[in-house]
Chain A
Amino acid sequence: MSNLTHSSVSSEPHRPVAAVMNRPLLEIDNLSTHYISQQGTRVVRAVDDVSLRINAGETLGIVGESGSGKSTLALTILRVLPTAAHIVGGSMMFEGQDLVRKSDAEMRHVRGKRIAMILQDPMASLNPLFTIGDQVAEPIRVHEGTGRTAAWKRAIELLKSVRIPSPETRVTQHPHEMSGGMRQRIVGAIGISCEPRLLIADEPTTSLDLTIQAQYLSLLRELQRRHGLALIFITHNLGIVARMCDQLAVMYAGRVVEQGPVSRIFNAPAHPYTEALLNSIPRMTDNRKRLTAIEGQPPDLSAMPHGCAFAPRCPAAFDRCHKDTPPEFNLADGRTARCWLASASVQRGAA
């Protein structure tokens, strides 16, 4: 394995994370990002009052369907939102500083260096006109001021570490000369090039074949272990969460409806949406003739129903669900759930 620990940032790459850092690496509190139309008449609450925590070295999965706000949340963390989107409230404490309050110039030193991102389509992240070496070396040259030759040397090492065969010749080639799996690994190499503390992966394996996906996931896990990276996996695939993540946040219509340790949520989901989602996926070994489908459609984010957004589709909904929006209840086992049913169990727990 190549040695990537020359840079100043990673002088202690294997430090036991929890011992050094008592505070979470990223602490998001009551964050809201809304898309506001030009006249201000239409407001889409893409991210609505979201609170999340991720510790160094941990893997957090954020699952949700299209339109649940998971990608907008990722763009908010990196502060690369489209012009119509505005952070309207909340804070994002990262390494002791609030990312919401940082200027654009300050964010440029965070993005790519302290927090990196991998997108779904590697061809959209790579420039077809530049060589692989130029693109992998670019963030190193920009963020660390390394010279061209030294940066290229690092690029070769990085390619080796993401298991690109014969990296010495690959650095001089262009993206079109690579397969899809190789391109995604190169995007991964760019992501880790400046030794970030947090890597956000937005559906990183959706375009890959199964056996290539397995290769890529095991590579990500190895990189995470070697560099003590915190990983945020944004996905619609509960299987990826089951395989890769420690913590899980389930999003529905812009809100986090349930979060907590992955195995607890899979074993006993607290929110009816999570439960329905888990029941709706086919399993390799099941004998069920029919799957348990969730009837209806997710709501329109610009015309949200009163009360709980899931209530119209919820099999357990009662009167209150259609009137009042449930707050985030803290459950006994370190989980939170936005559901009035959970409030009952909290009271039972207290009594």
Chain B
Amino acid sequence: MAVIEAAGLSKHFQARRGIFGGSRGVVRAVDDISFAVESGQTLGVVGESGCGKTTTAKLVLGLEEPTGGSIRFEGRDLQGLDAAGRRHYRKSVQAVFQDPFASLSPRMRICDIIAEPLVTNEDLSASDVRKRVLRLLDLVGLAERSADLFPHEFSGGQRQRIAIARALALSPKLIVLDEPVSALDVSIRAQILNLLRDLQEEMGLSYLFIAHDLAAVAHMSHTIVVMYLGKIVEIGDARTLARAPKHPYTEALFSAALPSHPDERREEIILPGEVPSPLNPPSGCRFHPRCPQAMPRCGREEPVLAPVAGRFVACHLYDQARQ
């Protein structure tokens, strides 16, 4: 069963000239995308700056209102939720961010940081709160005495554990993980990724995992979404997609991922140019100006997601194979 289902989800921003200036056009940060996060599974989102992955995370967290389409949580549309339903949703969807030095208040003790969501959302006695905090600390592998310390007394990896404990405080269904290990040292990353996986198995958590480290995404995810300029270009089973990408952009992206061994010989696809401005995206397929396999029709018609080799791809290359 899907915990979260997005259908035709869009977020368009009005770009303005100065404070009083007129509209300069529309930035389609997220443009008509659909995906689902299954219960107990991880959906990985990859793409480069400006592809819309952070906007997608904000939409799921309810930090932005969609300008089109819908998000359904446990089968119910978020738009139609009453106040109680909204509160339930906010408790069920939590987030862990990239920088554990910025996401924890330096003036609060660890127990207060972790207890904050409990105190604001649940009616518990002080001793119950303390008990819950200690259990959460144990769950993320921190000693009991950590509770009375301040964030500066911890290393990056330990801080990220604290951020995870806080996210777990309200027993959420879904956690949005926005680059959860990229600020950490290499030897610490594996600790945190393992912890996240263990917690998922123990508690049946679902993750929306956003990262630029493709190998980490492939390792953690059940399904991978590849985004380019606000559109999904490929979506499918993580292993299938990582081993044999089909969309030319996915191919280039995965070929640009660094090898894990010097003897690993791969075809390097170096894409020309850079991601175009989302204010003025190319016509037709948004990837066509950089695509090594672009055809005349790619500049005219926008491809739609369609099944190719066990996953969905939005590319005209596969039109004929399908017919």
Contacts and interface: CB of A to CB of B under 8 A. Distances in A.
A240 B256 CA distance: 11
Contacts of A281: 186, 189-190, 215, 260
A243 B264 CA distance: 9
A218 B268 contact: yes
A290 B194 contact: yes
A240 B242 CA distance: 19
B243 interface: yes
Contacts of B275: 209
Contacts of B243: 284-285
A188 B243 CA distance: 34
Given A210-B212, A218-B268, A284-B214, A239 B252 contact: no
A283 B193 CA distance: 13
B49 interface: yes
Contacts of B48: 209-212
B260 A290 contact: no
B216 interface: yes
A65 interface: yes
Contacts of A181: 274
A294 B187 contact: yes
Contacts of A284: 214-215, 218, 242-243, 254, 257, 260
Contact of B190 (A215, A239, A291): A291
A213 B194 contact: no
Given A66-B185, A211-B48, A211-B256, A280 B190 contact: yes
A297 interface: yes
A286 interface: yes
Nearest to B215: A282
Interface residues of A, number: 45
B82 to A, nearest CB: 41
A215 B261 CA distance: 20
A5 interface: no
A292 interface: yes
B153 interface: no
Given A210-B256, A215-B271, A284-B260, A238 B218 contact: no
Contact of A214 (B185, B189, B270, B274): B270
A104 B186 CA distance: 36
B219 A286 contact: yes
Main secondary structure of the interface of B (DSSP, over half): helix
B171 interface: no
B191 A262 contact: no
B197 A290 contact: yes
Interface string B201-213: 0000000000011
A170 to B, nearest CB: 14
A245 B219 CA distance: 25
Given A238-B260, A266-B262, A283 B268 contact: no
Interface string A234-246: 0011111111010
B62 interface: no
B253 interface: yes
A65 B185 contact: yes
B219 A291 contact: yes
A348 interface: no
A212 B274 contact: yes
Given A65-B187, A293-B194, A295-B191, A283 B260 contact: yes
Given A209-B49, A215-B271, A284-B242, A242 B259 contact: yes
Interface string A147-188: 000000000000000000000000000000001011000000
Contacts of B295: none
B149 interface: no
B242 A285 contact: yes
B268 A179 contact: no
B256 A293 contact: no
A263 interface: yes
A289 interface: yes
B258 interface: yes
Q: Among the interface residues B187, B213, B257, which one has the most CB atoms of the partner chain A within 10 A? A: B187
B190 A283 contact: no
Contacts of A209: 48-49, 212, 275
B123 interface: no
A210 B271 CA distance: 10
Interface in A191-246: 209-215, 218, 236-243, 245
A277 interface: yes
A286 B187 CA distance: 18
B155 interface: yes
Nearest to B256: A214
A279 to B, nearest CB: 8
Nearest to A286: B219
Interface of A: 65-66, 179, 181-182, 209-215, 218, 236-243, 245, 262-263, 266-267, 276-277, 280-286, 288-295, 297-298
30 contacts: A66-B185, A182-B274, A213-B256, A214-B270, A214-B271, A238-B186, A243-B259, A243-B262, A262-B262, A263-B263, A267-B263, A277-B187, A280-B186, A280-B189, A282-B193, A282-B219, A283-B219, A284-B242, A284-B257, A284-B260, A289-B197, A290-B194, A290-B197, A290-B198, A291-B190, A291-B219, A292-B190, A293-B191, A294-B187, A295-B191
Interface of B: 48-49, 155, 157, 185-191, 193-194, 197-198, 212-216, 218-220, 242-243, 252-264, 268-271, 274-275
Closest 8 CB pairs of A and B: A239-B258, A282-B219, A214-B256, A280-B190, A291-B190, A293-B190, A209-B48, A65-B185
Given A236-B185, A238-B260, A280-B186, 20 more contacts: A65-B185, A181-B274, A209-B48, A210-B253, A211-B252, A211-B271, A213-B256, A214-B269, A237-B186, A237-B258, A238-B186, A242-B261, A280-B187, A282-B215, A284-B215, A284-B218, A285-B243, A290-B198, A291-B193, A294-B191
